[in-house]
Amino acid sequence: SFSKNTAASLYGTHPRHFGMLSDSGLQVLATIYEAIEAIGCFPTQLWWLLFPLLDKPKGGFRPIVLCFALLRLWERLRRPALANFDVVNGRTYWGCGKHKSAEQIMWTHAVKAEAHGAQGNVTGGFFWDGHKYYESFDLGVLNARARKAGIHPIICKVTYNLWRGPR
């Protein structure tokens, strides 16, 4: 289940709200997910909700990732099917996955670079901005790895179509 403190979506729906649906409501939700997986993508009208712009105190806007509740629930439901992918393809330098964060990875690498530099060595590194990150994926390689990890092709199709959505 979702934590009470997890963020609500931009349109106000909290993932825990789905727990209040009746059995017939859950059946309708299941039918919606079946349609999404049959088509291979979520309704495009929801894509803009992925990157709302928040006002900065000193002016301007800051984009944040705030997934819509329907997507967050789908991801949670499909999580067991994706668990093996991290086992097969996990990398220590990735800032996503179970018990990881981009900030933690950044600080870990900064400390390692500092220690390496203190020994008189030269270090280097980079951080890849997510703006065009997903467009750089070789979907053929990713599909091969997904098959190797036992991930159903429909899950891949829905996920890839989300990545291709407007940013």
The pLDDT tens digits of the residues spanning 108-119 come to 878 888 998 899
33-86 pLDDT per residue, tens:
999 999 988 887 776 655 667 788 888 877 666 677 888 888 889 888 877 777
Express each pLDDT in 87-97 by its tens digit: 777 776 666 66
Give the separation between CA 24 and CA 27, rounded to whole angstroms. 5
| pLDDT on residue 25 | 94
**Whose structure tokens read 């000193």?**
58
Token representation of residue 107: 């600080």
Model pTM above 0.75:
no
Identify whether the C-beta of residue 13 lies closer than 8 Å to the C-beta of residue 73.
no
Cβ neighbours of residue 142 closer than 8 Å, sequence gap 6 or more: 156
For residue 12, give the amino acid letter.
G
| Average pLDDT over the chain, rounded to an integer | 79
- Integer Rg of the chain from CA: 19
